[in-house]
């Protein structure tokens, strides 16, 4: 039985780590630190041709093979860095050593590590960004293999016909790297705890987040795919933990605010049944977004006035909507629980995501 985290490969595939999407749904992890090392190059060979009737066959030591590279590849089927909680050290295959009769060593196979699309890769020692893997299949070499050493046949000249030396292989690159996942989603759901973000996500997609009537039910982002009858799709993310002071680390906002940076549209969900002032909640969350990243204020945003299945919430719709309309926001009264008004909200989101029509 193959041990957990063991590298696997097919008969003609590069060395790979973890099957596609393995354990990605078990738990959400969006940061990891791992050690990567390219394979060492094989050493060159010192050899001289020995054959009957050829007493002076000359040097025939082959070159060593190149060490394998460590390569990260973005995989849209993964949504967590959980795999790297189980294994932290990754080393590519060494190159083979050169042999006599001018036989070169085999190149080491690359070690391919799958990471979720949206992963930023940094050198831990310097903080330099090595790669930002946002597209499925995008690759980045994070540790190059060493060059193979040359055999003594490479050093033969007219004046040095029997070189007694060869080169050792070069060491492969090694470093500790930081992986940071920022979810890629078309729509990000934001709002105070218990505003109904998870309920809406479960209503419009196959996602099944935990839902309860106490604050911070959701402790990690959830992703869902919304599909229309005409085949159009969008990816929706429930971003938890936003409260006043989130940009300073209050609640869980400091951990998850960065995921909002990858979304194209924001849906701000207001709970009209709460005793709090919904307009005050709206201003507080928007202020946190601006303090965290001022560019978020220019992101398209629509407002979902939630829980209109309750009489006290429905009674507040007109008042709240008029104020937000005056500020330039489109409002959609909905009940995430019953589905009322959700279709109109989705129509607006798909319209915002549609590419602009080209003039004929």
Q: What is the pLDDT of residues 51-73, one digit of tens each?
A: 777 766 789 999 999 999 999 99
Strand pairing report for 129-133 and 119-123: antiparallel
Distance CA 79, CA 66 (A): 33
Q: Which residue, among 205, 237, 203, has the nearest Cα to 306 in the 3D structure?
A: 203
> What is the model's pLDDT at position 66?
97
CA distances from 34 to 243, 308, 337 (A): 32, 48, 42
- What are the start-end ranges of the H helices in the chain? 197-204, 253-260, 278-292, 311-314, 317-326, 342-353
Over residues 21-33, the mean pLDDT reads 59
pTM value surpassing 0.85? no
CATH superfamily of 185-353: P-loop containing nucleotide triphosphate hydrolases (3.40.50.300)
pLDDT (tens digit per residue) in 267-303:
999 999 988 899 999 998 888 888 888 888 888 999 9
Confidence class for position 356, pLDDT limits 50, 70, 90: low
Instruction: Say whether pLDDT at 32 is over 60.
Output: yes
Q: Where are the domains of the chain?
A: 1-181, 185-353
CATH of the domain spanning 1-181 = 2.70.210.12
b/e per residue 138-169 (b: at least 16 CB within 10 A)? bebbbbbbbbbbbbbbbbeeeeeeebeebbbb
Strands lying side by side in the sheet with 301-306: 222-227, 233-238, 185-190, 263-271, 301-306, 330-333
Average pLDDT over residues 25-34: 71
Distance (Å, whole) CA 115 – CA 184: 13
- β partners of residue 73: 114, 139
Query: 30 near 71, Cβ under 8 Å?
Result: no
Whether residue 221 is predicted with pLDDT greater than 80 in this model: the reply is no
Res 229 pLDDT > 90 = no
């Amino acid at each position: 039985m193959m041990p957990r985290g063991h590298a696997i490969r097919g008969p003609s595939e590069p060395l790979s780590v973890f099957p596609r999407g393995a354990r990605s749904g078990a738990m959400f992890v969006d940061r990891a630190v791992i050690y990567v090392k390219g394979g060492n190059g094989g050493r060159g060979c010192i050899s001289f041709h020995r054959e009957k009737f050829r007493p002076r066959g000359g040097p025939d030591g082959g070159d060593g093979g190149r060490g394998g590279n460590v390569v990260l590849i973005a995989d849209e089927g993964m949504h967590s860095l959980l795999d790297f909680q189980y294994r932290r050290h990754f080393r590519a295959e060494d190159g083979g050593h050169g042999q006599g009769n001018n036989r070169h060593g085999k190149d080491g196979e690359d070690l391919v590590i799958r990471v979720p699309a949206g992963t930023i890769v940094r050198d831990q020692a310097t903080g330099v960004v090595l790669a930002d893997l946002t597209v499925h299949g995008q690759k980045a070499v994070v540790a190059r293999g060493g060059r193979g050493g040359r055999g003594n046949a490479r050093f033969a000249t007219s004046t040095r016909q029997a070189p007694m030396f060869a080169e050792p292989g070069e060491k492969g690159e090694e470093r500790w790297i930081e992986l940071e996942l920022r979810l890629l989603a078309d729509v990000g759901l934001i709002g105070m705890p218990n505003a109904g973000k998870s309920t809406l996500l479960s209503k419009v997609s196959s996602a099944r987040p935990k839902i309860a009537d106490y604050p911070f039910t959701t402790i990690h982002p959830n992703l869902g795919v919304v599909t229309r009858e005409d085949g159009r799709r969008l990816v929706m993310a429930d971003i938890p933990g936003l409260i006043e002071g989130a940009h300073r680390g209050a609640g869980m906002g400091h951990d998850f605010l960065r995921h909002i940076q990858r979304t194209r549209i924001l849906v701000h969900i207001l709970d009209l049944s709460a005793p709090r002032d919904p307009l005050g909640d709206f201003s507080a969350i928007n202020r946190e977004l601006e303090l965290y990243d001022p560019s978020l204020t220019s992101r398209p945003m629509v407002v979902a006035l939630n829980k209109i299945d309750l009489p006290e919430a429905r009674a507040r719709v007109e008042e709240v909507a008029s104020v937000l309309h005056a500020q330039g926001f489109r409002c959609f009264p909905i009940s995430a629980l019953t589905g009322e008004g959700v279709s109109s909200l989705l129509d607006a989101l798909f319209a915002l995501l549609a590419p602009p029509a080209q003039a004929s």
